[in-house]
Amino acid sequence: MKLAALKTGTPDGVLHVVSRDLSRSVAATGIAETLQAAIEQWDQVAPALERLYDSLNAGTAPDAADLVMTDVAAPLPRAWQWLDASAFHSHGDLLEKVFGLEPPPEKKTVPLMYQGAGDELLGATDDVPLPSEADGMDFEAELAVILDRVPMGTTAAQGERHIRLLTLVNDTSLRALAAKDLKTGFGFLQSKGATTFGPVAVTPDELGAAWRDGRVDLPMHIHWNGKEFGHPHCGAMGFSFGELVAHAARTRNLCAGTIIGTGTISNDTFREVGSACIAERRAIELTDEGQPRTPYLKFGDRVRIEMLDANGASIFGAIDQRYVQASPAPQ
């Protein structure tokens, strides 16, 4: 099934069930008010949500209405925990060149992961406000999973069973600040803006045969100002989602509603399929031409991120948003 949070002026929005073709939605009234509430009691509410989904697709759900994407918030507009990994090895290889980083000794066996900010997550059509173009504004197209409660010590095989939903991510990065954050040894802080999530979250079964081995075997389509930037394949993850869950839960429980991202989608065939972030494109240019030439984002630029099924239909809807100058803080 497909789920979304519609904006209501409240912090968490209202949970809606969305039709398979993304055209209609209906509030999950009487089942769960928010997606967080649904995730916390998934086994109890999922059957009722599935029945409502079936009736919506059949055209018999009462009170269904057209879905307007600008009315949709992030599936979880705020989350107890947002963790992001670096699950694509080719991406790590390229960025090590850009930032002059030494590769971690266990990079192929232990996932890299940091804890991001979950207090304000942007909707798919929301503007991305940032303070300065000089900070090196960059998009990062990713996938993410939303989990129910995961006990400490969960294995990779067990971890996959805790995945309830998947969605899209645009993990905005400020590249001019990233190297400074990394050199502190404490991880990303100022170099990460608010993260954007796809309009719709879907259960793994909606992916059909494309969901296998804890990975999504489909390309991601990225456009920058209306021009294709890349279509890297998500099946090239060096670590499965189950392995990412197990890594995060090694020494602590993960609460229901924890989100884990893949990190920037990347393929070894980057020269053919393109990239999912500007920093990677710049790394390729540095390798091939001796210097990067693609600039980072400017205010007013628009980024679109979308995944299509085998028939060309949008699975999650699209992240489609502008980068804008942030308003000054009130005095």
Give the model confidence (pLDDT) of 8-66 as tens digits. 999 999 999 999 999 999 999 999 999 999 999 999 999 999 999 999 999 999 999 99
Per-chain mean pLDDT for the chain: 94
Determine, yes or no, domain membership for 330.
no
Q: What's the average model confidence in pLDDT over 223-236?
A: 98
| Whole-prediction pTM | 0.95
Of 47, 71, 95, which one is at a domain's C-terminal end?
71
Is residue 127 domain-shared with residue 175, that is, in the same domain?
A: yes
Is residue 48 domain-shared with residue 112, that is, in the same domain?
A: no
Sign of the dihedral through C-alpha 237, 242, 247, 253: positive
Is residue 208 domain-shared with residue 284, that is, in the same domain?
A: yes
Of 36, 71, 106, which one is at a domain's C-terminal end?
71
Is residue 47 domain-shared with residue 165, that is, in the same domain?
A: no
At residue 178 the predicted structure's pLDDT band, cuts being 50, 70 and 90, is confident
Is residue 246 domain-shared with residue 188, that is, in the same domain?
A: yes
Buried b or exposed e, range 55-77, using 16+ CB within 10 angstroms:
ebbeeebeebeebebebbbbbbb
The whole domain housing 177 covers: 82-325
| Per-residue pLDDT, 206 | 98
Q: Are 317 and 124 in contact (CB under 8 A)?
A: yes
At residue 97 the predicted structure's pLDDT band, cuts being 50, 70 and 90, is low
Look at the chain and report how many structural domains it folds into: 2
> Of 303, 300, 302, which Cα lies nearest the Cα of 275?
303
Q: What's the average model confidence in pLDDT over 291-299?
A: 96
Is residue 247 domain-shared with residue 304, that is, in the same domain?
A: yes
Is residue 61 domain-shared with residue 195, that is, in the same domain?
A: no
Of 48, 71, 94, which one is at a domain's C-terminal end?
71
Q: What CATH number does the domain containing 294 carry?
A: 3.90.850.10
Is residue 61 domain-shared with residue 90, that is, in the same domain?
A: no
Determine, yes or no, domain membership for 77.
no
| Per-residue pLDDT, 103 | 72
